Structure 1
Amino acid sequence: MGIFDWKHWIVILVVVVLVFGTKKLKNLGTDVGESIKGFKKAMNDDEKPADPNATPAQPAPPVQPQTTVNQPHTIDVQAQKVEEPIRKDV
């Protein structure tokens, strides 16, 4: 008995099919299968050795930021607390 009884699994399967519908479940299965295929392909691509005849890639030179008129400017300041006198005439 318990959750592993085959009768319980049948009831759960029927409820899932009624809630989601067969088309959504088919699409979900297809998406999961494609994800697994893509994962396996990526794992196999990582394991292949690099081509010994290939030249190493040259790093790109650093890009210098360009300043334009419409860019906001940052002002670096330090905040200070200012105590104002209490007004008694209010």
Structure 2
Amino acid sequence: MGGFSLWHILILGLFILLLFGGNRFSSMMGDVAKGLKSFKAGMADEDKPHAAEQRQIPPQQQPPIDVTPQPRAADPTSAPPPPTDDSAH
């Protein structure tokens, strides 16, 4: 009493076919297939790097960074340096 039999499914399919028509139904399926193809093509394009991203830009000529320590200038507003432990000898 609660299930569909084979006859119910066939009658429902025939009703849908008559409602939409054979030509209209096939054109809708063609449109769905075209949409799936374009979706797959779009996803494949995302995986490939674009031509603009493949081009390498030469690095700018910059002077080398000097990492040698420089002596600090005496600043009257700064705190005096902490005492060293050398006087305990």
Query: What's the TM-score, normalizing by structure 1?
Result: 0.51
Equivalent residue, structure 2, for 1:2: 3
- Higher RCO, Cα 8 Å, sep 6+: 2
Q: Which has the higher helix share?
A: 2
Equivalent residue, structure 1, for 2:33: 33
After superposition, residues 1-90 of structure 1 pair within 5 angstroms as 2-3=3-4, 5-51=5-51, 52-53=54-55
Aligned length: 54
Q: 1:54 to 1:15 in 2, by over 3 A?
A: farther
For residues 9 and 48 of structure 1, the distance between their equivalents in structure 2, rounded to whole angstroms, comes to: 45
User: Alpha-carbon deviation of 1:50?
Assistant: 2.9
- Provide, for residues 38-87 of structure 1, a one-character-per-residue CA deviation record: whole Å limited to 9, x for no partner: 111111111112331277xxxxxxxxxxxxxxxxxxxxxxxxxxxxxxxx
For residues 33 and 12 of structure 1, the distance between their equivalents in structure 2, rounded to whole angstroms, comes to: 24
Q: Could you tell me which amino acid in structure 2 is paired with residue 53 of structure 1? A: R
For residues 54 and 8 of structure 1, the distance between their equivalents in structure 2, rounded to whole angstroms, comes to: 65
Query: Which ranges in structure 2 are unaligned for 5 or more consecutive residues?
Result: 58-89
Query: Which structure has the larger Rg over C-alpha atoms?
Result: 2
Q: Which runs of 4+ in 1 moved over 6 A?
A: none
Equivalent residue, structure 1, for 2:62: none
Percent of aligned positions that are identical: 26
Query: Which ranges in structure 1 are unaligned for 5 or more consecutive residues?
Result: 56-90
